[in-house]
Chain A
Amino acid sequence: MTTAHAEAADGTFPHEPEKATLEGRNKVLAFWLFLGGEAVLFGTLFATFLALRNQTNEGPSAAELFHLPLVAAATLLLLVSSLTSVFAIQAMHRGNVAQLRNWLLVTVLLGLAFLILEIYEFSVYVRHEEFGMTTSAFSSAFYTLVGFHGAHVAFGILWIAVLIGQLLHKGLTVVTAPKIYVSAMYWHFIDVVWVFIFTVVYLLGKVG
């Protein structure tokens, strides 16, 4: 690994540092596989939600509950954060560590804003609408699906924050680059899942 540092110093740092070593390539491949498993995980949660979404048990229904402007704002934040993570990877491919760090930081902040909106949304439902985990099968399925996604966002924020710390300490190397690259893949994945949540949970709930 010491050679990689030397290469970076000479300015001969590889264009795609995440794929420069076998370990890096393995990591990227395994992460694609992992996302395949994650797709099944969310697929099962979506199936559960679709099966139970009208089982409101005399509690609030989706149409009464959801405020689309709030959800649209959250969606915007998350979609933009996916774009900024692309900028981060492009900066990495140019070897520009400062830009990479800044774009990662923007991504994390956007993710955090999304998460705060989601927590606010949940707290409104629980406190003012009497819509909790135990209210109905619909509520259980809603909190589990959307909450699982939220937990993924929270984990992503922590993960990328740790990677920013690594980047500051160790710089951009063939060890840190694959980690940053797969974290961006993860971030896109949770973004895609959110697009489905927005459609299946919120739009379908409001108008379906």
Chain B
Amino acid sequence: MDWITTVDHKKIAILYLWAGGLFFGIGGLEAILIRIQLIKPMNTFLDAQTFNELITMHGTTMIFLGVMPVIFALMNAVIPLQIGARDVAFPFLNSLGFWTFLFGGLLLNLSWVMGGAPDAGWTAYTPLSGKGYSATHGVDFYTIGLQIAGLGTLIGGINFLATIITMRAPGMSFMRMPMFAWATFITSAIILFAFPAVTVGLVLLTFDRILDANFFNVAGGGNPVLWQHIFWIFGHPEVYILILPAFGIISEVIPTFSRKRLFGYSSMVFATILIAFLGFMVWAHHMFTTGLGPVANALFSVSTMLIAVPTGIKIFNWLFTMWGGQVRFTTPNLFAAGFIPTFTMGGVTGVMLASAPADFQFHDTYFVVAHFHYVIVGGLVLGLFAGLHYWWPKMFGRMLSETLGKWTFWTFIIGFHLTFFVQHFLGLMGMQRRVFTYLPNQQFDTLNLVSTVGAFLMGVGMIIFLVNVFLTSRRPADAPEDPWEDGRTLEWTIPSPPPEYNFKQTPLVRGLDAFWKEKMAGHKGMTPAEPVGPIHMPSATILPFLMSVGIFIAGLGFMFSRDEFSSSIMSFLFNNYIVTALGLLITFGSMLMRSLFDDHGWHIEPEELEGR
């Protein structure tokens, strides 16, 4: 109950972590099933329909329900601490964002047991995702589930923007902000400007499917390419929503374990901003083969290649940070160091794909699959592993085992390269993506076997990580405030795990890497910026949970509003929008409650603070 009503950013971080981890596990199992099917030619392990559902759900689950929540977990756990704040700007909305994400994810995954999962690919291209080709409710689960989950992401993004703009500790100017906070800030801005586009896209597709509208239906005057534009004007920035937080994590981990400040801090900041800006300019490079014409293809080709410049700046800055530093290869730093070459390889194939004529050859082959897995798994997932190992003691007060951590790293990264490196060659040799099987003796056999073996090795790495987490959770919580001993930023100045008010006194920031600066000046901790006083805390509330339940019910009701049911009561309830209305009533009723009863919160008095 405590977990359902909490508005504490540190607890919400843990909720995000468990929920994201659960969906990540589901997405991982889907990947393993896909790789088992492709282990040999003409395999009959899965049928074509199941395979389509698996690839669709694997992509959708991993991106929206797996890695994004884990990113949000780290942001929630770390950002208020890094900027010296007691909480986020809107604790209530923070909780609401989590619950809408969770219920959206649950709705999406209900499709497995309620008559068929979405089967049109994670991009849900029309007309494949239209009623004509996808007659089950699968794509409805996709549109409505993602809509609800996306709402949570948008709320989270606005919350982080407001938090970072207004709640930084005294002295922390924007150019003294840690890189992870910068990455969160820019990522949230991308979320704010990219997610409403997919909101509209999903609404249009929902209307096409449930209300028989004609947006993408050619017979009624609609235009399927419109879907691609709307999807990718969201979808390409989404790539940077995923990777910029990983860049931020790497920029925290490498300086800490090199005992040096980040090389070229200000160029890192501007590279981040530039990447975000360019991210919105390049969406049509996903559509080179759609037939936009040579002028559009050339422009989008050039603008896409431009992104390599700020990304290259980042790569070199990380290398220069390590150069001449006292580098310690702890588990977080192993992941960070492994990230650099792996992500660079993904970037190089990105430039290859950005060349429009070459893309005509690579399009829809395993080369593309290899490219985006190098970027998303080799970039983001390695980054998340680095971040999780790095901040785990701060989140839970327990150090993860270094030995098991190193085992995780080596099995995962070797498995990763085994799985995806060979897929470049599979793609160049002509193996198409999204096909559920292939003929023997096309030289695909061995490489596919290698790829599947690699996938299992990655699975072993994940299991070692889970074992590590399990064993760690049984040990006493005894991590010191600054467990890595070279902590540079504010989160390492308070106990692990932090008390619910984070900072007894808001710290005074006197430079970049505030804590490191104090250490170098011979101080033991931060200078407080205020006397000890009562701390205002927000009250716990169940309303965000109820609002999300309401939206969930409304979504289900709307989805089945045109269906025939065998029982007349069910038909009456759904076809008259009674279920939909009931769900909306719960949501709006909760909003009304929130509006009518002010939450004054409560105070922690100074005596209590000293008592600890």
Question: A residues within 8 Å of B by Cβ?
Answer: 1, 22, 25-26, 29-30, 33-34, 36-38, 40-41, 44-45, 47-48, 51-52, 55-57, 133-141, 144, 162-163, 165-166, 170, 175, 179
| CB-defined contacts of A139 to chain B, threshold 8 Å | 214
- Nearest first, the 5 A-B pairs at minimum CB distance are A55-B221, A137-B221, A140-B213, A41-B196, A44-B200
| CB-defined contacts of A38 to chain B, threshold 8 Å | 196
The answer to whether B600 has its CB under 8 Å from any CB of chain A is: yes
The answer to whether B598 has its CB under 8 Å from any CB of chain A is: yes
Task: Tell whether, in the assembled complex, residue B193 and residue A40 are in contact, meaning their CB atoms are under 8 Å apart.
Answer: yes
Segment touching A, from B160-168, B375-383, B551-559: B160-168
Task: Tell whether, in the assembled complex, residue A30 and residue B162 are in contact, meaning their CB atoms are under 8 Å apart.
Answer: yes
The answer to whether B207 has its CB under 8 Å from any CB of chain A is: yes
Task: Tell whether, in the assembled complex, residue A26 and residue B595 are in contact, meaning their CB atoms are under 8 Å apart.
Answer: no
Task: Tell whether, in the assembled complex, residue B196 and residue A40 are in contact, meaning their CB atoms are under 8 Å apart.
Answer: yes
Task: Tell whether, in the assembled complex, residue B226 and residue A48 are in contact, meaning their CB atoms are under 8 Å apart.
Answer: yes
| CB-defined contacts of A141 to chain B, threshold 8 Å | 215
Give the docked Cα–Cα distance between A140 and B220 (Å). 10
Task: Tell whether, in the assembled complex, residue A134 and residue B192 are in contact, meaning their CB atoms are under 8 Å apart.
Answer: no
Task: Tell whether, in the assembled complex, residue B89 and residue A30 are in contact, meaning their CB atoms are under 8 Å apart.
Answer: yes
Given contacts A22-B166, A134-B213, A139-B214, contact A37 B195 (CB under 8 A): yes
Binary interface encoding of chain B residues 124-161 relative to chain A, with 1 for a CB under 8 A from any of its CBs, else 0: 00000000000000000000000000000010001101
Could you list 20 A-B pairs, sorted by A, with CB under 8 Å?
A: A30-B89, A33-B158, A37-B196, A40-B196, A47-B230, A48-B200, A48-B204, A48-B215, A51-B223, A52-B223, A134-B214, A136-B214, A136-B221, A137-B214, A137-B215, A139-B214, A140-B208, A140-B222, A144-B207, A165-B596
Task: Tell whether, in the assembled complex, residue B192 and residue A37 are in contact, meaning their CB atoms are under 8 Å apart.
Answer: yes
| CB-defined contacts of A162 to chain B, threshold 8 Å | 592, 595-596
The prevalent SS among residues of A at the interface is: helix
Given contacts A37-B158, A140-B222, contact A44 B197 (CB under 8 A): yes
Binary interface encoding of chain B residues 357-401 relative to chain A, with 1 for a CB under 8 A from any of its CBs, else 0: 000000000000000000000000000000000000000000000
Task: Tell whether, in the assembled complex, residue B162 and residue A133 are in contact, meaning their CB atoms are under 8 Å apart.
Answer: no
| CB-defined contacts of A144 to chain B, threshold 8 Å | 203-204, 207, 213, 215
Seed contacts A41-B197, A133-B211, A139-B214; 7 additional CB < 8 Å A-B pairs: A26-B162, A34-B158, A37-B158, A40-B196, A133-B213, A135-B220, A140-B220
Give the docked Cα–Cα distance between A167 and B422 (Å). 66
- Which of A45, A48, A138, A165 has the most chain B CB atoms inside 10 A of its CB? A48
- Nearest A residue (CB) for B199: A41
| CB-defined contacts of A175 to chain B, threshold 8 Å | 598
Given contacts A33-B158, A134-B211, contact A51 B226 (CB under 8 A): yes
Task: Tell whether, in the assembled complex, residue B158 and residue A52 are in contact, meaning their CB atoms are under 8 Å apart.
Answer: no
Given contacts A133-B213, A136-B214, contact A166 B158 (CB under 8 A): no
